[in-house]
A and B are shown apart, each in its own frame.
Chain A
């Protein structure tokens, strides 16, 4: 696409109309996962392991099955055998086989006529366990003598002599590492740790499923990606994918945590066992915290070399990440993001994916990037302090730009890190003066973004309004953004477009709304599909005018003759073309299917001001700025919403969110009372700057914006705390007790 086209003025893109789903959502009419119901529906409940690690020696549900109203009880015996590889991990996590691998691991499930009976039945199931030694902490789990979680967990990549809990090993790099350190005036290293954090979506997992012995099933579910649900359910239950029809509900947040299965196969299996009655399962918050999400916990070593005038010479990282009992921590993404913002003459990366007796890690907003940013951006801040250099200037000196080869391989196309750094530097927040015990921290962050498999369709209604059908559930305002891009493409009013999210039977395979892809990928596909219908309309008008189709062009909702040579015809509106469809060849519709590429990486720079109470260690966030490259903000309010939401989740991760395990390996804070996400009054207004360096590979210049924003808060806040009271915390969360200890003793918490 030619660059000048990207720079053009838009009529709808960049405006801020109400979102199409807004009315339903504020009136409570929108249907979320738990809102579905069907005639004859049963209610499911799940029995969960009270142990972190145990062998299940027997399950007896005779008493439970005799309760009035109990219609089905399932255990692992109700699932196929002979499954292996990653599907086995999915199945194992859905329902335990021989072993329970974490506190909260599903053991059995019941369907009954009421929720109360189902819960009562759960309590009547008798399970005998042989409790086994467990391990929770990542540094403990990698020790050679750690309790062994699985005997055959390691893959081919793991070096001889590693702990049996290492599932995989990654190593890659570029340049002369030691030579780089030799050239440096300062070489600094440090160890950093982050705790697991839950996605904390407000809507718990919920689904209703129906499956009969004919193998045809239906599922209504709160998910980010219903094709994933279909694929995963089909594979763990041994069904044919196309026989399962999955419809997504509205979704109260997912942040990556709703891209996989938990209760869904259980509901299907219960339905089948109860003779095809629909079964609904709704998780409690405690179940959500014990058994879903979270992201990995990490232990990280970083070493960076720099010249005294602030040019990076070399960097190395070793990241150890625990992603639960099945592996799958985002360690490779973390490594890719570690030095991505900088031109590193030499970079070396080592990563370990480690098992521990915790819930299976799910994706969480920019998986891996926040941990990497915490380690690398904290250390860069320490370097800036030692060398007395401005933290934004140092980042500007080393920032990557178009044409640079990234630290992890790919060459960058047009990117906006420099513009973002400059915008942050120019913002008033960077120069407001600070008082006692107050400090300012800066950090950058990166997410590569994702395109992914996408399938959409577009159809013209008989009155010239347009239906768009996409497969990416609307989490952050994507209906509005897709409607704006559609309106722009046709030149018709925003209100004349309706965007539907279709069930799995209506479109080809769609990846979930993940990887910051919905607006980027569905938007790009819708643009293509709309243009198909536009050329169809031009052809029909050409036939009417009896001229060559190439002599008709589309502008602002009208087919027009392409200049004087084409003939003297009055433009024909989309309305008129639509009203004549039945006479001119039938319905007009377009579709587009592709693996979308050209995602446009997004960089962000955050500036945080905090005040620390030196007597209690309590941190107050005074001011917060997010600057990030959006490529093009289709609907600026939702771009700002993503920036702010990402920052808030990062702030929570940095300050007080934490999994507290007892000595028995059980989670002690499975409630929002003690799993402390920030409440509204904890936060200042999150100021935003939308930087727009258009993505040359997108028709409107879009880059994904959803994820980058969660990475910089972790280091930005740690850097600000150090600036405020001289306490360098290298371990998250920076809960008051830890901060106070660091203030008093200088220990960094690691």
Chain B
């Protein structure tokens, strides 16, 4: 195995395109190195992106949105006060990943590209309407985060394609997001189910809603029809129970060592309902 440490994105892509065998980009390495150690994936080339200038920066764009560098760690995200205030749901998704040690390395991009349907930060990114900047040999393009996951452990990225940053849209008043997951313990578990909700309000009425479900299908999924239940409402109890039932209905989980399909279907509704309540309260500025 060869380790590369390019100093620009272009160089990284060039190395990837000219290398043969299994080629892997390395961000925080909390998935890549674990897979390497247990022998599930043994790359021939590891391309570390952490030494590319600017890759660990969070910047506010002119349009009011944030750009998050591809190697920004979970800890950096949490420490960013403004971003955490505007996108608490997205940040809490990332913050749930692993422990303090993992947080100091793990990235949003790595979480996304690992392709797990249970990835904790991905529902929040999709609910936020985030996009990623992709560099390949023919140039750069912007793709919505929701279009990246393509199945368990896989993404729509083509060979050699590199994500350089994540772009969050501008945040307005009376908007709020939340992410909740269910695990049997209090930490160090993979989500049995997860749900992110992002809401915009006008006079207390929900005007737009995005609901994203994790770990209840082959990939993280947008629950459009569940979100539609919320629009035009003030999230009263009967709406919430309809919403909850809808989420359970949409969910297509499997049974595995982390929970049965039946259980997952049951609790995705509960977790979604709690996440919606939390997002709504945040949009009202309650906390």
Contact = CB atoms under 8 A, between A and B. Distances in A.
Interface of chain B, main secondary structure: loop
A669 B263 CA distance: 19
Interface in B17-62: 38-39
B182 interface: yes
B270 A676 contact: no
B185 A615 contact: no
B186 A616 contact: no
Nearest to B39: A119
A539 to B, nearest CB: 60
A700 to B, nearest CB: 40
Nearest to A744: B266
Contacts of A740: 263, 266-267
B109 to A, nearest CB: 22
A609 to B, nearest CB: 17
Contact of A737 (B185, B190, B263): B263
B175 to A, nearest CB: 27
Contacts, number: 53
Contacts of A655: 184
B38 A669 contact: no
A603 B260 CA distance: 39
A682 interface: yes
Interface residues of A, number: 24
A616 B272 CA distance: 12
Given A616-B270, A656-B184, A676 B189 contact: yes
Contacts of A735: 184
A176 interface: no
Contacts of A62: none
Contact of A618 (B184, B257, B260, B266): B184
Contacts of B85: none
Interface in A651-669: 655-656, 660, 668-669
B182 A679 contact: no
A660 B259 CA distance: 11
Contacts of A672: 188
B266 A682 contact: no
Interface string A736-750: 110011000000000
A674 B267 CA distance: 19
A674 B257 contact: yes
A678 B188 CA distance: 10
A158 interface: no
A286 B38 contact: yes
A39 interface: no
Nearest to A286: B38
Nearest to B259: A737
Interface in B181-237: 182, 184-190, 192
Nearest to A615: B270
B186 A676 contact: no
Contacts of B141: none
A152 interface: no
Max chain B C-beta neighbours (<10 A), residue from A656, A672, A735, A736: A736
A257 B260 CA distance: 31
Contact of B257 (A615, A616, A617, A669): A669
Query: How many B residues are at the interface, by size bracket?
Result: 20 to 34
Contact of A736 (B184, B186, B257, B262): B184
Contact of B185 (A119, A286, A678, A741): A678
Nearest to B263: A737
A622 to B, nearest CB: 13
A673 B190 contact: yes
A616 B274 CA distance: 12
Nearest to B273: A615
A672 B271 CA distance: 25
B270 A618 contact: no
Contact of A682 (B39, B186, B262): B186
A97 to B, nearest CB: 27
Contact of B184 (A615, A669, A676, A741): A676
Contacts of A27: none
B170 interface: no
Contacts of B266: 740
B258 interface: yes
Nearest to A656: B184
Interface in A23-67: none
A682 B185 CA distance: 6
A77 to B, nearest CB: 27
B98 to A, nearest CB: 10
Nearest to A661: B257
B6 to A, nearest CB: 26
Given A615-B267, A616-B267, A616-B270, A673 B189 contact: yes
A34 to B, nearest CB: 15
A151 interface: no
A57 B89 CA distance: 56
A735 B263 CA distance: 11
A676 B187 CA distance: 10
A119 B38 CA distance: 11
A615 B267 CA distance: 7
A674 B188 CA distance: 9
Interface string A525-553: 00000000000000000000000000000
A681 interface: yes
Given A286-B38, A615-B270, A674 B185 contact: no
Interface in A668-723: 668-669, 672-674, 676, 678-679, 681-682
A617 B190 CA distance: 17
Nearest to B188: A679
Contacts of A674: 190, 257-258
Interface string A610-630: 000001111000000000000
Interface of B: 38-39, 182, 184-190, 192, 256-260, 262-263, 266-267, 270-271
Given A674-B190, A676-B189, A682-B186, 20 more contacts: A119-B39, A615-B267, A616-B182, A656-B184, A656-B185, A668-B257, A672-B188, A674-B258, A676-B184, A676-B185, A681-B185, A681-B186, A736-B184, A736-B259, A736-B267, A737-B259, A737-B260, A737-B262, A740-B263, A740-B267
7 contacts: A655-B184, A673-B189, A674-B257, A676-B185, A682-B185, A737-B263, A740-B267
Sorted nearest first, the 5 A-B pairs with minimum C-beta distance are A737-B263, A660-B257, A681-B186, A615-B270, A668-B257
